[in-house]
A and B are shown apart, each in its own frame.
Chain A
Amino acid sequence: EPEVTQTPSHQVTQMGQEVILRCVPISNHLYFYWYRQILGQKVEFLVSFYNNEISEKSEIFDDQFSVERPDGSNFTLKIRSTKLEDSAMYFCASIVGQGIGNTIYFGEGSWLTVV
């Protein structure tokens, strides 16, 4: 079964450092997402990406965050200057986006610890 893959699975970074989380969505999917889950809390939407541009972003997704799809397969989330409160599990997800019966597939997550 096709799957969304994410790297790294776990990253520890110093506060103020830049972090890039990488994702390879399922190949025929058209919509891509990043979600965040702070430990013990619910999963929160960060951003959706379609047709090579951001289609929607949440209040969490401020100027410190950016996304891009540099080469047609990878989908990256960059946090420019990490803060302690950015410590969370970050999930990449994708969906075909056409027709009925759509399902969003999630990657296994990237656990970011900011110290």
Chain B
Amino acid sequence: AQTVTQSQPEMSVQEAETVTLSCTYDTSESNYYLFWYKQPPSRQMILVIRQEAYKQQNATENRFSVNFQKAAKSFSLKISDSQLGDTAMYFCAFMKHANSGGSNYKLTFGKGTLLTVNP
């Protein structure tokens, strides 16, 4: 079974600064996906960024980028030029690749990191 660990329950950052959220995971799979989801106060789950494990290049999406370290099983999220609208709970999630037996594309989530962006 896969596990996802987010060791920072809460973080805060000043507007316009950069912040990094940590995530580690444990799996015996070699092929999988990793995700960061954002959950604002409205509680909707919004995909921030996705990384395929077979890709060595780190994913980027505008101000959001990841540092994917496959050997260390680490997947951190960097938010640059933080904005007030980035205030939310951030969840790291793992999904087995389709070619892995019994994938079902099920997501396993970490406990989340509450990020507050201060003006």
Q: Give bound CA distance, A43 to B37, whole Å.
A: 11
Give, as a whole number of angstroms, the nearest-CB distance from A115 to chain B: 20
Would A42 and B91 be within 8 Å (CB), given that A56-B104, A89-B43 are in contact? yes
Q: Give bound CA distance, A106 to B104, whole Å.
A: 16
Over the window 40-76 of chain B, the binary record of Cβ atoms lying under 8 Å from chain A Cβ atoms (1 yes, 0 no) is 0011111100101000000000000000000000000
Q: Give bound CA distance, A109 to B104, whole Å.
A: 21
B109 in contact with A48 (CB, 8 Å): no
Q: Which chain A positions have C-beta within 8 A of B104? A: 31, 48, 50, 55-56
Give, as a whole number of angstroms, the nearest-CB distance from B44 to chain A: 5
* Surface stretch bound by B, among A13-21, A62-70, A75-83, A96-104: A96-104
B105 in contact with A104 (CB, 8 Å): yes
B52 in contact with A100 (CB, 8 Å): yes
Q: Give bound CA distance, A41 to B102, whole Å.
A: 26
Q: Give bound CA distance, A100 to B111, whole Å.
A: 27
CB closest residue in chain A, given B45: A106
A104 in contact with B95 (CB, 8 Å): yes
Give, as a whole number of angstroms, the nearest-CB distance from A105 to chain B: 8
Give, as a whole number of angstroms, the nearest-CB distance from A33 to chain B: 7
Would A109 and B50 be within 8 Å (CB), given that A31-B104, A42-B109, A50-B104 are in contact? no
Question: Can you list 15 A-B pairs, Cβ within 8 angstroms, ordered by A?
Answer: A31-B104, A31-B105, A35-B107, A42-B91, A43-B107, A43-B109, A48-B105, A56-B106, A101-B50, A104-B95, A104-B105, A106-B44, A108-B44, A109-B43, A109-B44
The 9 A-B pairs of least Cβ separation, nearest first, read: A106-B45, A43-B109, A42-B111, A48-B104, A56-B104, A108-B44, A95-B105, A42-B109, A55-B104
Knowing that A104-B105, A109-B43 are A-B contacts, what are 8 other residue pairs whose CB atoms are under 8 Å apart, sorted by A's residue number? A42-B111, A43-B45, A48-B106, A55-B104, A100-B98, A104-B47, A104-B95, A111-B43
Give the interface of B toward A (CB within 8 A): 33, 35, 37, 42-47, 50, 52, 91, 93, 95, 98, 102, 104-112
